[in-house]
Amino acid sequence: MEQKPAEQKPVVFSGIQPTGVFTLGNYLGALKNWVRLQDDYRCVYSVVDLHSLTVRQEPRELRENTLRSLALLLACGIDPEKSVLFIQSHVHTHAELTWVLDCYIPFGELGRMTQFKDKSGAHPENINAGLFNYPALMAADILLYRAASVPVGADQKQHLELSRNTAIRFNNIYGDTFPVPEPLIPKDTGRVMSLQEPTKKMSKSDINPKAYVSVLDRPETIIKKFKSAVTDSETEVAFREGKDGVNNLLIIYCAVENLTIEQAEAEFAGKGYGEFKLRVGEAVAEHLRPLQERCERLYADKAYLGECYRKGAEKALAISKRTLEKVYKKVGLIVP
């Protein structure tokens, strides 16, 4: 099938924070989907380092984590020739549009963000204005590139809704300026949950390191974490209501082995949970091994990484400056 020229494809924007730990949930639920989207969309992907400043960072670690995150995105299959891939702080238009949008987002709307409540509760010693305000920066990230769609998990829809409301509010005042972005929720991969509390999403911020798998965990660590995963008091490997732990492991196994739930159930029919958990751990470790090897090679090549993020920033700035200048003109600012 003949592909559309890049300029005719709808734009997708997504970003990921450089926390140093991409979980298996990030990889299966988001990053693999980012790679697939490159064929059908004009993709703009960013390591959103400015967002990470809402929590106090150790400067050297932040720099290292930012480069490692970039290497991981490349290792996952993000192609800098197909997509615009850049580091957020290298493109000054993000901070500039944020200020304008700040003046059009009601205080109460930001106050209703559940993640602000959650993070301020987790870091009561550092409830800063950036933590309150970062959804405005997220809106700027999306609207700068006139994104038609944003890949999001179900738990991120509130932030996208704020971006949509902001675009609609601005358009109502000044006329057509921003496309109103739609959520792009992948349907083919189930949500990856905590290995210790399978009713909760797998999260890198979990205080229990056994609850999540990092994509850079060593094979023996991955297998050990899966062997200690919570299941239930039954013995049947089956996908059904009330078996949250087993369901989670089946979703993960099917994702890395490219199987249906029915095929996985048949494979483990009559087998115990111990054998099941070991096999899932081995499958995940083997699936991640080539990704880890590519990441290490890329991370060691600082010259190549520098070339990627400089070229990506140039492309991102060229696109986003057009949007920012349009916004400045709409609100009455003089464009130099």
CA atoms within 13 A on the CB side of 21: 12
Q: What is the 8-class DSSP label of residue 334?
A: P
**Calpha distance 323→336 (Å, rounded):** 14
Strands (DSSP E) contained in 99-211 are 149-151, 182-184
Catalytic site residue from 201, 225, 243, 277: 201
Burial annotation 144-161 (CB, 10 A radius, 16+ → b, else e): bbbbbbbbbbeebeebbe
Task: Find, among 77, 93, 120, 84, the residue nearest to 6 by Cα.
Answer: 84
Residue in the structure block whose two tokens are 């064929």: 39
Tokens encoding 169: 């509010």
Phi, psi at 184, each rounded to 5°: -120, 95
Contacts of 40 (CB under 8 A, 6+ apart): 9
Q: What is the 8-class DSSP label of residue 34?
A: H
227 is a catalytic site residue: no
Catalytic site residue from 9, 82, 204, 311: 204
**Calpha distance 80→305 (Å, rounded):** 11
Q: What is the 8-class DSSP label of residue 121?
A: H
Task: Find, among 67, 36, 15, the residue nearest to 187 by Cα.
Answer: 36
119 is a catalytic site residue: yes
Q: Cα–Cα distances in Å, from 14 out to 31, 150, 151?
A: 10, 6, 6
Catalytic site residue from 119, 225, 243, 277: 119
Q: What is the 8-class DSSP label of residue 198?
A: T
Burial class (CB in 10 A: 0-12, 13-18, 19+), 223: buried
Tokens encoding 245: 């732990």
187 is a catalytic site residue: no
Q: Which residues are catalytic?
A: 119, 201, 204
